[in-house]
Structure 1
Amino acid sequence: MDAHGAIARISLAAVQHNFRRAKQLAPTAKVMAVVKANAYGHGDLSVATALKNEADLFAVARFEEAQKLRAGGITQPILLLSGFLNADQLQYSARHNFQVCIHQTEQLALLERTPLAAPITVWLKIDSGMHRIGFTPEQAEAILARLSAIKQVIQPVNALTHFARADEPEQRAVTEAAITRFKQATAGKVKHSALCNSAGVMAFPEAHADFIRPGIMLYGITPFSDQQGTDVGLRPAMNFTSSLIAVREHKAGEPVGYAGSWVSPRDTRIGVIAVGYGDGYPRMAPAGTPVLINGRRVPLVGRVAMDMATVDLGPEGNEQVGDEVLLWGEGLAAEEVARHVGTIAYELVTRLTARPRWEYVD
């Protein structure tokens, strides 16, 4: 018996491959590699270190994420996609070569009145249709004029936007309109532009501009609901595995797990996997969600618990305690698992807890 608990095996070579695939799709653009949310669950410092000789810029969502990269030895510029929240963060950003996104007038006013130890690079966030943060295209001219008057801001400033529906092929016209709004608001007024998230990189080459901003595709996952990463030349960067800790004979008509939500229609064998929502495997994964054991697909049955999940091995199943179980990764795409669960692969890979063991395999 050689059973083990959940393991997240991360291939940094796969991350590098996916980065180069993004470059292949946008050969004239620089790359802003998105490593927010712990590099989408893959380890931000490890991923940034693997890409430090290739990425032109790293992007994060939170100030603390940028601090962690700097403390870990990452020397490239780092863009704060949500900008700064107070004067201390702004001053720290200037000292440590963080670039900042400006998306609201309160930030702009703080920038105007806060003395900085060094000039700072600013990206103006244009709301092209997401309607969360950012200035409207109609506001852009006035905001750019105010930014141009700030001596401690490196001139000219840059601009970016974030597409709301680039991952929906049937809504192509919506993204095309967003591209037009952004270009009309910024043409001839900014130094660099960045429009494309992963979906934009793949589907809207006309919007690649000066910088692309790949996120989920760096980790081998496609943003499109009808595809998986391998369909578009990506390699999954995470293999999430565990092992069987029990195999038991099970009679027809008997339930498995909490609330008896699944009852076997036949005599069978049940495998118990050392994984649960305490590891980040989704509690709402329904019966029928696939896992791979020794290359064979078997379905989840019963409710996922905090520490265990159960699968129907079938009456002829010969799996044994200690056999490794692939929950998602090479051979079983996270996108497919997410479709069964009713979520997106982004959530699967970012929600893993601190309990699984992390291994970097190359």
Structure 2
Amino acid sequence: MRLAIAEINLQALAHNLAQVRQFAPNSKVMAVLKANAYGHGLVKIAQHLNDADAFAVARIDEALALRAGGLTKPIVLLEGFFHQDDLPILLANNFQAIIHDENQLIALEQAQLDAPISCWLKINTGMHRLGIAATQFEDFYQRLLATENVKNNINLMTHFSCADDISDSKTAQQIVLFDSLVIGKQQAHCLANSAGIIAWPAGHGDWVRPGLMLYGVSPMLNCTGEQHNLKPVMRLTTKVIAIRDVEAGQCVGYGGRWQSTKATKLAVVAMGYGDGYPRHAKHGTPVVIGNKRYGIAGNVSMDMISVDIGDNSDNIKVGDDVVMWGSELPVEEIAQCATTIPYELLCNITPRVSYEYLE
């Protein structure tokens, strides 16, 4: 019997990409596939995003895995490259580099390449992570134009820091700053991540970069994907492996931090932090068994979780399916119960979880 399974709904993936195009009908779509496609399976997900215009990953090894998997679309390296020796790899595989640091610019100026590569110039408009300062923009832009190793169609981009919060004015300020810098430049512009796509149409530009929303999860504060007509792509399930009677006053799990207030039954399910489920999920975090919600009792262990099923009136038995998150139970809700974010939950799925792709 297979226990922990991540069911990946590829029809939901296609639906979500179509929703991206509805939000930003005049923009090309760069599908973000970093971190193993947010835990969904890098190559398999890419193979089912044929309608995307390009892919984006964080690092070269992810991009090489896509090429090895037969993907031929343009691939953008969100962190760029890290050494001049990387440049021939970019050229040979038609990778596009994001330039965000002067060391990269110097490496491009000094490299001996057989042909130029495509580049994106990233401007720091308020994220203060990667990107050149606004005061450096014109100098970097002109130096890239003058470099034979760079194609002339230099794309321009930035990244929003607070787009998930529509009450925060920082995103509007970032858009104004970016627009003031690139005015008159005819190259393609790219500003919007998933939250920017949903909430800030002024920042859609020529390209958008959907990540989390492709997988059916809301990037906005205190929202679920369903509120944006997105469908969850991952459904994480397992099985009941034991049912136990617990008397009133008995403690359950490591540290005995949960104590039953009355006689009850516990279903022990085959899931834990060894599968990527959050160890800090609080008591009462919901799971779904037989279309009904029940709460976690006690601490999450490496391999098992106890679930309070009351008097077992629904006749739960060993072998029954347990939904940890999915269409019946939003991953956003589980993230709140574990004081984390959906990104972390999706990306933390471990190799011992079986993947099942549903066409």
- TM category, shorter: over 0.9
Q: Is residue 87 of structure 2 the alignment partner of residue 93 of structure 1?
A: no
Give the match for residue 132 of structure 1.
129
Q: Is residue 161 of structure 2 the alignment partner of residue 164 of structure 1?
A: yes
Query: Which of 5, 8, 11 lines up with 1:7 in the alignment?
Result: 5
- CA contact 2:31–2:52 (8 Å) conserved in 1: yes
Query: Which of 98, 104, 110 lines up with 1:107 in the alignment?
Result: 104
| Cα deviations by residue, 1:34-88 (Å, 9 ceiling, x for unpaired) | 0000000001101110012x11110000110000001110001100000001122
Give the match for residue 268 of structure 2.
272
- CA contact 1:138–1:185 (8 Å) conserved in 2: no
Is there any run of 5+ residues in structure 2 with no aligned partner, and where? Answer: none
Give the match for residue 239 of structure 2.
243
Cα separation, partners in 2 of 1:251 and 1:4, compared to 1, 3 Å: farther
Query: What letter matches 1:158 in structure 2?
Result: N
Query: What letter matches 2:178 in structure 1?
Result: F
Q: Is residue 321 of structure 2 the alignment partner of residue 324 of structure 1?
A: yes
- CA contact 1:157–1:190 (8 Å) conserved in 2: no
Query: What letter matches 1:42 in structure 2?
Result: H
Query: What letter matches 1:149 in structure 2?
Result: A
Q: Is residue 278 of structure 2 the alignment partner of residue 282 of structure 1?
A: yes
Alignment of 1:247-262 (within 5 A): 247-262=243-258
Count of aligned residue pairs for this structure pair: 358
| Cα deviations by residue, 1:243-273 (Å, 9 ceiling, x for unpaired) | 1000111101001110101000000000000
Query: Which of 113, 116, 120 lines up with 1:116 in the alignment?
Result: 113
Once the two structures are TM-superposed, the CA of residue 190 in structure 1 deviates from its matched residue by: 4.7
Once the two structures are TM-superposed, the CA of residue 118 in structure 1 deviates from its matched residue by: 2.4
Aligned to 1:275, the other structure's residue is in SS state: coil
Is there any run of 5+ residues in structure 1 with no aligned partner, and where? Answer: none
Distance in 2 of aligned mates of 1:228 and 1:127: 29
TM-score by length of 1: 0.97
Deviates more, 1:117-126 or 1:98-107: 117-126
Give the match for residue 27 of structure 1.
25
Distance in 2 of aligned mates of 1:77 and 1:118: 16
| Cα deviations by residue, 1:269-318 (Å, 9 ceiling, x for unpaired) | 00000011110011111101000001000000111111100100012442
Query: Which of 76, 80, 91 lines up with 2:77 in the alignment?
Result: 80
TM-score by length of 2: 0.98
The CA RMSD measured in Å over matched residues stands at 0.9
Query: Which of 155, 159, 177 lines up with 2:152 in the alignment?
Result: 155
Distance in 1 of aligned mates of 2:220 and 2:29: 21
- CA contact 2:31–2:56 (8 Å) conserved in 1: yes
Distance in 2 of aligned mates of 1:47 and 1:115: 35
Distance in 2 of aligned mates of 1:65 and 1:268: 48
- CA contact 1:4–1:274 (8 Å) conserved in 2: no
Give the match for residue 291 of structure 1.
287
Deviates more, 1:25-34 or 1:185-194: 185-194
Deviates more, 1:153-162 or 1:266-275: 153-162
**Which ranges of 4 or more aligned residues in structure 1 deviate by more than 3 Å?**
none
Distance in 2 of aligned mates of 1:349 and 1:303: 20
Q: Is residue 55 of structure 2 the alignment partner of residue 42 of structure 1?
A: no
Query: What letter matches 2:234 in structure 1?
Result: M
Aligned to 2:121, the other structure's residue is in SS state: strand
Query: Which of 17, 22, 30 lines up with 2:15 in the alignment?
Result: 17
| Cα deviations by residue, 1:191-214 (Å, 9 ceiling, x for unpaired) | 111000000000011111100100
Give the match for residue 226 of structure 1.
222
Distance in 2 of aligned mates of 1:189 and 1:28: 18
Deviates more, 1:272-281 or 1:310-319: 310-319
Once the two structures are TM-superposed, the CA of residue 4 in structure 1 deviates from its matched residue by: 3.7
Query: What letter matches 1:6 in structure 2?
Result: A
Distance in 1 of aligned mates of 2:21 and 2:35: 22
- CA contact 2:111–2:149 (8 Å) conserved in 1: no
Once the two structures are TM-superposed, the CA of residue 127 in structure 1 deviates from its matched residue by: 0.4
| Cα deviations by residue, 1:14-35 (Å, 9 ceiling, x for unpaired) | 1111011000111111000000
Give the match for residue 179 of structure 1.
175
Distance in 2 of aligned mates of 1:117 and 1:239: 47
| Cα deviations by residue, 1:202-256 (Å, 9 ceiling, x for unpaired) | 0011111100100000000001121100111000000000010001111010011
Query: What letter matches 2:28 in structure 1?
Result: K
